[in-house]
Structure 1
Amino acid sequence: MITSLAIFNSTAFIIYGLLCIFTKHMVKEFKEFGLSKYRVLTGILEICGGIGSLIGYFWFPHLYIFSIFGLTLLMLLGVYARVRVGQPWRKSIQALIFFFLNAFLFYQSIIKGFFLS
């Protein structure tokens, strides 16, 4: 189950990172948040985090830990940005779900002893 969640999470961030960089919808959303200058950086961090967590999960445990921790922080900031602009709950739920998913995966990786490998 953890493997499936890790693969899903990694893939979602790679796709979402690409959407963040290349779609007009994300340009509009980042402008609404007052964070236009961070849109491309956010997309790059999401892509790198997704690739890092995918590669790290199977071959480099320390990379996995680092990537998942980074994605957890990124989603925490995403939730904060949405709360700050008063975005409706239904629009914020995706960021909150991915925050908890990444926090769970990070916690699981520590319990499994990835960090000690």
Structure 2
Amino acid sequence: MILVALALVSAGAFFYYGATCIMSMHVRQEYRRYGIPHLRVFNGTLQMFGAGGVLIGLALTPLGALASLCLCILMLLGLQTRHRLHDPWRLRIPATTLAILNAVLFVLFLRA
């Protein structure tokens, strides 16, 4: 039950952030500030594929484990970018939360 609830939260967040990453003008400006504007659409696409993988993983647990691990790594890379730019901690909270959530999901998928 907890696996399903956490998977739905993760998938919902990453579908939202992935779509926002692709379509939002604000995010477009942020990626320029990060120095990686060429990765914006790719990153958003990875987030949405990861969200789909987490959902499909509810039926195929190895895929869920892989997707949640990849999303965790993606968020850790995002945290590294924020650290490099000396962003305040409040801007790191979403990526930190999603990295932890997907690390927990990874373990839960492995145990399922």
TM (norm. structure 2) is: 0.94
Contact 2:50–2:67 (CA under 8 A) maintained in structure 1:
yes
Residue 62 of structure 1: how far off its partner (Å): 1.5
1:63 aligned counterpart, secondary structure: helix
Aligned-CA RMSD value: 1.0
Q: Which residue of 2 aligns with 1:67?
A: 67
Contact 2:3–2:109 (CA under 8 A) maintained in structure 1:
no
Stretches (4+) displaced over 2 A: none
Segments of 5+ residues of structure 1 without an aligned counterpart are: none
> Residues 38-117 of structure 1 correspond to what in structure 2 (within 5 A)?
38-57=39-58, 59-110=59-110, 112=111, 114=112
**% of aligned pairs identical?**
35
Residue 2 of structure 1: how far off its partner (Å): 2.5
Residue 7 (str. 1) matches residue 8 (str. 2): yes
Residue 107 of structure 1: how far off its partner (Å): 1.6
Residue identity matched to 1:4: A
Q: d(CA) in 2 for partners of 1:3 and 1:52?
A: 13
> Residues 16-35 of structure 1 correspond to what in structure 2 (within 5 A)?
16-35=17-36
Aligned length: 111
2:86 aligned counterpart, secondary structure: coil
TM (norm. structure 1) is: 0.90
Is the deviation greater in 100-109 or in 15-24?
Answer: 100-109
Q: d(CA) in 2 for partners of 1:26 and 1:8?
A: 21
Residue 87 of structure 1: how far off its partner (Å): 0.7
Q: d(CA) in 2 for partners of 1:52 and 1:108?
A: 15
Cα offsets for 1:41-82 (capped at 9, x unmatched) = 00000000001111121x211211111111011001011010
